[in-house]
């Protein structure tokens, strides 16, 4: 059996993202989305999610961009002078690893984000992190430890099979996926040991921001056995506050609703699912 979870990240970042999530779920193959509880449009996202009961909504833990949940003075090691999260992820990652004070601040902010999600009343479908920051071993340990108190049952470990990518586009160089693979495999082992489900395969690393209809259709046609997640960044416009330069947001939305994609998923006998539908390890 081939099971496919299709996730939209950055839910709550902007109303244009939220609109795309609703369209992709209502009219397409989108089964899950990851909520940025501190996002500028989080309230709008939560309102939409409440009227979409079949949509699996998870927590998109964010330590890398935008405004934190806690006051800046409570987490000075995580933010810059503007009160927003630091953008120097490598140096911040080192500080979280080596500096106990910064590590405690990261734990407090992660806990605050889990608590903010719990306060929405939405069921916690899954957990992942903005810009895959949970590949960082210390951040992963904090999320696993804190998440168990909030009922975390599933999480993403972005293990992307290069063979499938090359079957879709033979000239593809999956450098990002191959570079992240050791950390992703280690993360998945830690999740499973903690009783947290995780897909066998994840697509969205190599073509992040460029998951076109042709690429999603190709992945669906060449799905490996087991549970696969495809994650995208759809929006109803290509430019909005906080949009990433070069991301093809509207094409990613089109990939969710394109008739040829829907037909490929149907004809391949793929079972669409949410993380909540997965068995616990």
Q: How far is CA 48 from the centre of its chain?
A: 18
CA distance linking residue 211 with residue 173, whole number of Å? 15
Distance CA 208, CA 90 (A): 20
3-class DSSP assignment, residue 146: helix
Q: Is residue 31 within 8 Å of residue 7, measured between CB atoms? A: yes
Question: What are the tokens at 152?
Answer: 């975390």
C-alpha closest to that of 132 among 46, 72, 65: 65
Whole-angstrom distance, CA of residue 257 vs CA of residue 273: 16
- Coil vs helix vs strand at 230: strand
User: pLDDT tens digits for the chain (281 residues)?
Assistant: 899 999 999 999 999 999 999 999 999 999 999 999 999 999 999 999 999 999 999 999 999 999 999 999 999 999 999 999 999 999 999 999 999 999 999 999 999 999 999 999 999 999 999 999 999 999 999 999 999 999 999 999 999 999 999 999 999 988 888 888 999 999 999 999 999 999 999 999 999 999 999 999 999 999 999 999 999 999 999 999 999 999 999 999 999 999 999 999 999 999 999 999 999 88
Least Cα distance to 261 among 157, 177, 168 occurs for 168
Tokens, residue 1: 């059996």
Quote the CA–CA distance of 274 and 34 in Å, as a whole number.
12
Closest CA to 273 of 130, 101, 154: 154
CA distance 244 to 258: 23
Task: Note the pTM of the prediction, 2 decimals.
Answer: 0.96
């Amino acid at each position: 059996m081939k099971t496919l979870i299709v996730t939209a990240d950055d839910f709550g970042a902007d109303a244009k993202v939220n609109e795309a999530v609703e369209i992709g779920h209502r009219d397409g193959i989108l089964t899950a989305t990851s909520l940025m509880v501190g996002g500028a449009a989080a309230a709008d996202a939560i309102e939409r999610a409440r009227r979409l009961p079949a949509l699996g909504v998870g927590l998109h833990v964010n330590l890398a961009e935008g405004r934190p949940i806690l006051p800046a003075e409570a987490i000075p090691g995580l933010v810059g002078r503007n009160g927003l999260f630091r953008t120097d992820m490598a140096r911040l990652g080192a500080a979280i690893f080596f500096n106990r004070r910064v590590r405690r601040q990261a734990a407090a902010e992660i806990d605050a984000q889990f608590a903010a999600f719990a306060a929405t009343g939405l069921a916690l479908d899954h957990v992942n992190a903005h810009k895959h920051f949970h590949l960082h071993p210390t951040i992963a340990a904090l999320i696993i430890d804190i998440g168990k108190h909030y009922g975390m049952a599933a999480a993403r470990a972005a293990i992307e099979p290069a063979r499938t990518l090359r079957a879709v586009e033979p000239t593809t160089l999956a450098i990002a996926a191959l570079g992240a693979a050791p950390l992703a495999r280690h993360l998945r082992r830690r999740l499973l040991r903690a009783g947290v489900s995780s897909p066998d395969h994840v697509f969205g690393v190599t073509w992040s921001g460029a998951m076109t209809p042709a690429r999603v259709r190709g992945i669906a046609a060449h799905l490996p056995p087991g549970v696969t997640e495809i994650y995208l960044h759809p929006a109803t416009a290509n430019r909005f506050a906080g949009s990433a330069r070069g991301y093809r947001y509207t094409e990613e939305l089109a990939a969710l609703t394109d008739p040829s994609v829907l037909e490929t998923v149907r004809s391949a006998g793929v079972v669409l699912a949410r993380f909540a539908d997965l068995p616990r390890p």
